[in-house]
Amino acid sequence: MVKGFDKKIRKFVGAYTEKRGIFFTCGNSEEDIKLFCDISSHTEERQHILLRDSAYFSRMTEAYGEDCMFFFAKMDLHKFIAFLDTQPQDEQTQKDREEAERWLEHGDVVPMSALQMIRSNDTAYLLYSGFDDRVFPRFRTTNQIRYEAMKYFRDRGCSVFSFMGIKGDLNDPLSDFKLKFNPTVVEYIGELELPVRPMLYRFMNKFLPFAKRVYIRAALLIKGKK
């Protein structure tokens, strides 16, 4: 499975993360849901989008049970500092040590990234993901966390891991990222619309995108004040 990945993805899978004290967990408890929402909030702020709240994920967990799982990449800070002790003591090593020691003030383990998966029959669907870009983003845990989720569901009988779509022209950063995992791209005919009230259709087609942007900005502002 790993051999088909882009070499930039392969670099961060396996020993690279293990040596740096990065490890992976999964679960679907209320604590897992809360942690997932906390990590996702950084993606919301960074990309100016609004994702689902904890009540939504709780309902999904109730409906799907163990077929709904949340995966996390975390760093054992003590293990990471021990790794730094074995490295050349240059400027980057010192910077990493200082950052690790700052995070130690909040606990021995710091969460880095997360994703949510749903299993249906022999397919595992990646629905939501996020990462905290304050915590060593250059270690690319968004790469290996997907690999860990693939292994988890493969070992439970899944033969398909769905990244949930890409743009048709493949000309965007998200598509570029997904294609590095050497996927099989299946193209569907797409969605067709038949306006039955042409004037109302044209009005709504122009108004809804604007209303959506206003709603998201207002919701993020309210959320930031809480």
Helix (H, G, I), strand (E, B) or coil at 122: coil
Residue with tokens 């002790």, as numbered in its chain: 85
**In the prediction, which pLDDT does 99 show?**
96
pLDDT value, residue 225: 65
Residue 45's pLDDT is what?
A: 84
CA 132, 137, 141, 143 dihedral sign is positive
Domain formed by 2-190, architecture: 3-Layer(aba) Sandwich (3.40)
pLDDT in tens, 65-119: 999 999 999 999 999 999 999 999 999 999 999 999 999 999 999 999 999 999 9
Computed over every residue of the chain, the mean pLDDT equals 88
What is the arithmetic mean of pLDDT over 189-193?
76
Structure tokens, 99: 């950052």
> Does residue 160 contact residue 126 with C-beta atoms inside 8 Å?
no
How much is the pLDDT for 185?
A: 80
pLDDT digits (tens, 9 = 90+) for 115-138: 999 999 999 999 999 999 999 999
Kindly report the number of other CB atoms within 10 A of residue 171's CB atom: 8
Predicted confidence (pLDDT) per residue in 30-74, tens digit: 999 999 999 999 888 887 777 888 999 999 999 999 999 999 999
- Tell me whether strands 109-120 and 123-131 are parallel, antiparallel or unpaired: antiparallel
